[in-house]
Copies of this chain bind each other. A is one copy, B any other.
Amino acid sequence: MKQLALIGAGRIGEIHAANAAAHPDLRLSLVVDPLADAARQVAQDTGARVASLDEALADPAIDGVIVASATDTHLDYAVRAHAAGKAVFCEKPIDMDLARARAAAERLKGARLFLGFNRRFDPSFQALKAKLAAGAVGALETLQITSNDPGPPPIDYVEVSGGLFKDMAIHDFDMARWLLGEEPVEVFAWGSCLVDPAIGEAGDIDTARTLLKTASGKLCVIANSRRSGFGYDQRIEAYGESGMVRADNVTESTVQVWSEAGAQADRFRNFFLDRYKDAYRAEMAHFAHILSGQAQPTVGYADGVAALALAEAAAESLRTGRPVRLD
């Protein structure tokens, strides 16, 4: 039974807490959050107790630390947890600033750091990758990643989000790297503000189309919007030499109603807590394997930096109107 401390008892922290508590090989022992009420609630729901950060990092019984706090603390807490000898399950993104993220390389050397890019653990995306790996369509050539939120976030969230590329497309940059099998070497992005003018006034965009190119000429399109109008829209099409593999959206159930208007399928799962609940569970199972020594992190610090580099390149391309080459 490995013991865990959770740093950050917000929405995503609660999910990790529940998954840790339900895992047969893990025990959530400590919950850390400056908001005492939040910490107490999560602790109570999971049989853990509230602790301070220092207490948690100093506790020799704690094997692993889940970093689910505010984004600008991810890097610092990950470094400190690693320094304290803990394995780290760090929420994405690794940081908002590429230079700062890169600067932490030395301090994170040798860290058992698992970065929570949840989509890599989604059953459908994993099945897609497995099909590619099994050669179902030959060598991959192009990729279409569609990633639209159900509706736009509040403006005060947008203002501190780091912008669409770092906040939202960061997942898609990671998926592109995971699937392309080659690093993107060039990025081009266009963005518009079509959903909510307030997003534009906040200096951000709500709609983007980003192209990635690899050295061998593989092309990837990332389509993002802050509002699909029909739920969480998370799809991938991967084209190979002899066909295409696709992963589609998930519906609430298999029910259809057939009427004079035609066949109506059930609603699409609305947002990430719902769409990726199995993925979050699978992330925790992976962390349990890391803690037991059965697995190395399949996605870590370097992946977080690489996704961030793509996000910054996309933002630069949007600003300059030119393609941007990655170093």
List A residues at the B interface (Cβ < 8 Å). Answer: 22, 24, 45, 123-124, 126-128, 131, 136-138, 141-142, 144, 146, 148, 188, 190, 192-195, 207-209, 211, 213, 217-219, 221, 223, 225, 227-231, 233, 239-268, 321-323
Contact = CB atoms under 8 A, between A and B. Distances in A.
B131 A257 contact: yes
Given A142-B223, A190-B219, 19 more contacts: A22-B22, A24-B45, A124-B254, A127-B252, A127-B266, A131-B255, A141-B195, A142-B207, A142-B209, A144-B146, A192-B218, A211-B211, A245-B256, A246-B256, A246-B258, A248-B254, A248-B255, A261-B267, A262-B264
A259 to B, nearest CB: 4
Contact of A213 (B24, B190, B241, B323): B190
29 contacts: A24-B45, A124-B253, A128-B253, A141-B195, A141-B225, A142-B209, A148-B239, A188-B188, A192-B213, A192-B217, A193-B217, A194-B218, A225-B239, A228-B243, A228-B244, A229-B240, A229-B258, A230-B244, A231-B260, A243-B257, A243-B260, A246-B256, A248-B254, A248-B255, A250-B254, A251-B262, A262-B268, A321-B323, A322-B323
A217 B246 contact: no
Contacts of A223: 142, 144, 221
Contacts of A218: 192, 194
A220 to B, nearest CB: 8
A136 B257 contact: yes
Contact of A211 (B146, B193, B209, B217): B209
Contacts of A239: 148, 225, 228-229
8 closest A-B pairs by beta carbon, nearest first, are A192-B217, A127-B253, A243-B259, A248-B254, A127-B255, A124-B253, A229-B242, A229-B243
Contacts of A142: 194, 207, 209, 223, 225
B261 A261 contact: no
A243 B267 contact: no
Contact of A253 (B195, B217, B247): B247
B240 A249 contact: no
Contacts of A262: 230, 251-252, 264-268
A292 B45 CA distance: 18
B264 A264 contact: yes
A250 B262 CA distance: 10
Given A131-B255, A230-B259, A260-B231, A194 B217 contact: yes
Contacts of A148: 239
Nearest to A245: B257
Nearest to A266: B262
Nearest to A220: B209
A176 B192 CA distance: 17
Given A123-B253, A141-B207, A221-B209, A244 B231 contact: no
Contacts of A259: 136-137, 229-230, 242-243
